A and B are shown apart, each in its own frame.
Chain A
């Protein structure tokens, strides 16, 4: 199977994630975009492992690691969003600008 298919799929996911991250202001949507980018990274990792044929399965292991990081990130990120919502009654990330001044 040609290697470009999964790689282009990963590139598509990543750029869609970039677009979402830059254009959307809803905090949870931003988290989702980050998840998309992380998923693109895992696809890349697994694809490169499949191309290289590593005996230590580095790509797969790192994909698992990225997943764990993603889960941790979602947990902490949502906790922060909940806190902001409780204090400011908004989930718009532009409203969370208290530290700017």
Chain B
């Protein structure tokens, strides 16, 4: 999602390089190398594990808080699922009497007991990874619904994000190196604009263009049901056809962020002394380019991990617009149906995705940045 609250995690928000520069260790004149002895490496491995443990504890604490918050909010949502179902049945032609009995049977298993008791039960079930039963799709586990939806979210999110990442990073390098040129400027402005425009605007424009003005692609849905699922041509073709517009929208929406982030990262790296030093040592253009690109892309990997986590739940507009059956749409629908369990579950999973992405991002950083890996400055 690219609304306001997540600005910080979106690529440009963290445009700068994550500071892993000087620390007290650099001050000393110690001529003895600080780490690369086996003991040091082992200690570093231990340290990474400890870091992971710390993250897990904090992550779990956060999950608990989020669970509690969502529980409280969700149990306070006005609008009774029974009423909604009742009216729906009436409209389907049931007699009021019939509808009333049917809904009573349907919601016979609405949570009962004091709010506190419900809360305790909810937490207990959570420990068994049991999110309860869906109310709007009675008899179906919330986890099943979420798993199905998640698989549909992953396709456009991963596809779109990776596409935009590749494109954005490539063009960002260009924009960073040709900062003062016309094309660099144009890239930066277009990046800012795309980064700034909300997803739904892009989604609606894309939809208007490719289905109304120039109808060449299906307007929505996941895949044509005619084809047998599996690794066969028609099925995959249909899958790709349907995913094109959502993926395109994702890619457009996040592309700008990558361009901006990469550009500023490249600009920072270009200002780093070691690049000039490498140039003065006569390193070839290709090596130089690799130095710039690798150092510049490093902070972006963390952002990538974070944004993947964020996008997980942020697909709401795109999924709504393109009728793509992912988590975002699931959440919207569950709210409409006042499906407490599903709502809570989706919200929780979305949040956990972000928390996990946070942890992953941090560990990823520890793995790809030798400064963290071998425990220099942290």
Q: Do A and B truly interact?
A: no
Give chain A's interface residues, CB within 8 Å of chain B: none
